[in-house]
Amino acid sequence: AADPPFREASGRGRVYSVTIVRSRRAGDHNLVLVDLEEGARVMSRVVGIADEEVRIGMAVQAFVGELDGRPALLFRPAEDGR
């Protein structure tokens, strides 16, 4: 079977779902499902704001950051709010 075609994504999306994971050892953090403009849904985190400020429907922008010393796909609030 042929590999599916590669499709570049804009990285823009909206938060579909959010929860806050409580952990004494690792510290609290948000966990989100983001619907990308292109139709895919991905699990990640929103950084740059307090966990309690992340809202369903919030416009976000993806970037490659670092979690626990490893590269990770993360999101930050979209600057233009779209």
Q: Tens of pLDDT along 25-63? A: 888 999 999 999 999 999 999 999 999 999 999 999 999
How does the average pLDDT of the chain come out, rounded? 93
The pLDDT score that the predictor gives to residue 30 is 97
What does the pLDDT read at residue 80?
A: 77
The pLDDT confidence band at residue 4, using thresholds 50, 70 and 90, is: confident
Distance CA 17, CA 26 (A): 22
**Is 81 a residue whose pLDDT tops 80?**
no
Kindly state whether residue 38 falls inside one of the protein's structural domains. Answer: yes
Query: Residue 2 domain-assigned?
Result: no
What is the total count of domains within the chain?
1
Average pLDDT over residues 4-31: 92
Domain extent at residue 51:
12-77
Is position 5 within any domain? no
CATH number for the domain that contains residue 29: 2.40.50
